[in-house]
Amino acid sequence: MSNRRALPVLPGRSALATVAAGASAALVALLLSVPAAAAGLAALLMLAALLVLATLDYVSSRRAWRHGQPRMTRRLPAAFAIGVRR
């Protein structure tokens, strides 16, 4: 069993907005009588580009995560400092 923790793959707001914009553009194209094959191909190309960019982002984030220096800072609220002399 490996002690590595997997990075969660969660789409960000910009990725979701991009997919929504692409779907809306495909819908508008179909409503404007663009052939379905052309609209489908455009949507497929956009989705492929988004997947490539997401993969590159994941790889670079994972690399940065592994090379990062963990740092822990402890900050206590002022209420815990009662009785501490300065």
Mean pLDDT (the chain, rounded)? 83
Does 75 map to a domain? no
Q: Is residue 39 domain-resident?
A: yes
Spatial contact of 50 and 18, defined as CB atoms under 8 Å apart: yes
pTM, two decimal places: 0.62
Q: Which domain holds residue 34?
A: 13-69
In a domain, 30, yes or no: yes
Cβ-contact 50, 15 below 8 angstroms: yes
Q: Could you tell me if residue 3 is inside a domain?
A: no
Total tally of structural domains belonging to the chain: 1
Residue 46 in any domain: the answer is yes
Question: Considering the domain boundaries, does residue 49 fall inside one?
Answer: yes
Q: Nearest CA to 21 among 50, 51, 55?
A: 50
Residue 84 lies in a domain: no
Q: What is the pLDDT of residues 28-52, one digit of tens each?
A: 999 999 999 999 999 999 889 989 9
